[in-house]
Structure 1
Amino acid sequence: MLSENDYPIFLGSEIEQPKPEDALFHIIPIPYEETVSYGGGTGKGPAAILEASWQLETFDNFSNPCDLGIYTHSPVSVSGPAEEVMDNIASATKEVLTLGKMPVGIGGEHSVTWGIIKGLLDAGETDFGVVQIDAHADLRDRYEGHKHSHASVMRLVVEAGVPLFQLGIRAFCEEEVQARKDHNVDYLDAHQLVPNNVQEFELPQNFPKKVFFTLDIDGMDPSVFPSTGTPVPGGLGWYQTLNLFESVARQREIIGFDILEFAPIEGFHAYDFAAAQLMYKLMGIIQRNR
């Protein structure tokens, strides 16, 4: 099944597009690719993930996340200046929150997370934190002249006063080390998680009860997802990623999430399918921990 503009809907081979008010999960495709600094292709990520989702089973080995309803929006307009694109993303996010539903972003580059966070703030959500899986800290003030860079997105988040916890980081600069100190960013970096096979962790007691979870595909090891523009060795594995996400879901209320920086490799559909399955697995974890 296709959306109004012939964009595939998530799991469209198995489910009908529900009414927006009947779906918990609202997928927002955001094919934005403007500030990537190495490999490209993230703008094609949303369509590839949605197309691959047609090969998924509705049963994720534990439950049927689609029972909660999955609504796929038309892609956000990503033409124009970065500030305008962020406003478009924020508007789409706020619309979902107005319905009392959960935004699920598909990027696109990581800069789009700021648009989603802005939408949460615009909708009146002020007491929430962000948990980030990523290879990079993304805490630079700006990168290559861009304030709205994929390498600066978490700086915008913490400067807005939103608490941040980082997981799996393994590429950052001295400026970002200082930004962590200045903004009281908590973290468990890859060298702490991966060699020790850490599968769960405790968020600080004072971390907000509501969490938006942002997952950069490059936070996972390139052996799992080489399909990203800035791969870094030493990342999280498939089950470790799912288990860390579930660790957060058990402790806090997840109010939304995104999956970003997926850059399809032509002819290698396994990665498209893996990204679609990852998204559905996260929905299942949320379903079972509600």
Structure 2
Amino acid sequence: MSTTNTALSYPHFLGSEIAQATQEQALFHVLPVPYEESVSYGGGTAKGPSAILNASWQLEVFDGKSRPCDAHIHTLPAIDCSVPTEQVLNAIEEATAQIVRVGAVPAILGGEHTISSGVIRGLKKGGMTDFGVVQFDAHADLRHAYEDNLYSHASVMKRVVEMGVPLYQLGVRAFCEEEMQARKEFQVGYIDADVLVPKNINQFELPDDFPENVFISFDVDGFDPYVMPATGTPVAGGFGWYQALALINSIAAQRRIIGFDVVELAPIENLHAYDFIGAQLVYKIMGIIQRQRQPNN
């Protein structure tokens, strides 16, 4: 069972600059999920959604290319994470399905990576039948279970591929033999960090048979720790800020992005830069999606 800190605040995303849009108006529905249960090293991910939302009040509305907020943003109430894990995942599933049903883009704020399996269930329940996941991460997360926990953050992508959802991984640099075998069994595509980073790859081609619709799952430990140390399991050798954004733009040039999550931010007290990086990342992805959906804006 996870515990939500009731002292945390969940303001509307970018609420210092824009009014809360209605669910009907908004292209982006932001869903905070302060879930933390199976972290295996450093803790604090339950505070990630609140930190991102609070930091978003310091963002500029112009992201350098457009005003993503012009597509309108609605921030939903945080998921109650004080209940058993399966109930949390069910709540995420239902909330995500509702977002999809009204034609909006889910922007999910974690919390640990476990939450992504509930999001994927929600996409399917909401009527998305043909989509794939592109994962930015230091870890493969393809163990069948970790410490006997099927819902571990280290097993989340195994749950995803077991649903029949195609997966492509970017930046992975920590995995075990079991996960290598899972990649083969489920035909997981990948460019690992030992190739991606030294060669400074900024564009890549998804396989021809990868679905047209793509959900991006972004674990902030995909960044190198010099960019993002505020995460529970940092691993040296990750991508930098501009490389990550270029890779997301490369996805948008090939496929339709239907939603995203940003997970595993574990705020460091009195070091607000990393909270701001999390908020910037969310808003930058919104901008990429907005320009894809509304190219004249």
TM-score (norm 2): 0.95
One-letter identity of the residue aligned with 1:26: H
Shift of 1:84: 1.1
CA shift digits 1:177-228 (9 cap, x unpaired): 0000000000000011000000010000000000000000000100000000
Structure 2 counterpart of 1:51: 54
CA distance in 2, matches of 1:227, 1:7: 19
Partners in 1 of 2:122 and 2:269 — Cα distance?
A: 33
The alignment's C-alpha RMSD in Å is 0.9
Q: Distance in 1 between matches of 2:165 and 2:137?
A: 17
Query: Which residue number corresponds to residue 184 of structure 2?
Result: 181
**Which aligned runs of 4 or more in structure 1 are off by greater than 2 angstroms?**
none
Q: CA deviation at 1:154?
A: 0.2
Question: Could you tell me how far apart the structure 1 residues matched to 2:273 and 2:160 are?
Answer: 33
Alignment of 1:208-247 (within 5 A): 208-247=211-250
- Residue 13 of structure 1, aligned match among 16, 22, 35: 16
1: distance between equivalents of 2:15 and 2:104?
A: 20
What SS class does the counterpart of residue 257 from structure 1 fall into?
Answer: strand
Determine the C-alpha separation between the residues in 2 that align with 1:123 and 1:70.
20
Alignment partners' CA distance in 2, 1:76 and 1:12: 19
Corresponding pairs, count = 286
Are residue 159 (structure 1) and residue 183 (structure 2) matched?
no
Residue 35 of structure 2 is aligned to residue 32 of structure 1: yes
Distance 1:116 1:72 in 2: 16
1:92 matched to which residue of 2? 95
What CA distance in whole angstroms lies between the structure 1 residues aligned with 2:129 and 2:56? 33
CA distance in structure 1 between the partners assigned to 2:120 and 2:70 by the alignment: 27
Q: Distance in 1 between the 2:197 and 2:274 partners?
A: 21
The structure 1 residue matched to 2:152, chosen from 149, 153, 168, is: 149
In structure 2, distance between residues paired with 1:124 and 1:271: 35
The percent of aligned pairs where both chains have the same amino acid is 61
User: Is the aligned partner of 1:80 residue 2:89?
Assistant: no
Contact 2:140/2:179 (8 A) holds in 1: yes
Report deviation, 1:173.
Answer: 0.1
Query: Which runs of structure 2 are paired with 1:108-123 in the superposition (5 Å)?
Result: 108-123=111-126
Q: Which residue of structure 1 lines up, in the alignment, with residue 4 of structure 2? A: none
Q: What is the TM-score of this pair, normalised by structure 1?
A: 0.97
Q: Do the aligned partners of 2:10 and 2:49 also contact (CA within 8 Å) in 1?
A: no
Give the alignment partner of residue 282 of structure 1, picking from 264, 268, 285. 285
Structure 2: unaligned runs, 5 residues or longer: 1-7
Q: Cα distance, 1:15 vs. partner?
A: 0.3
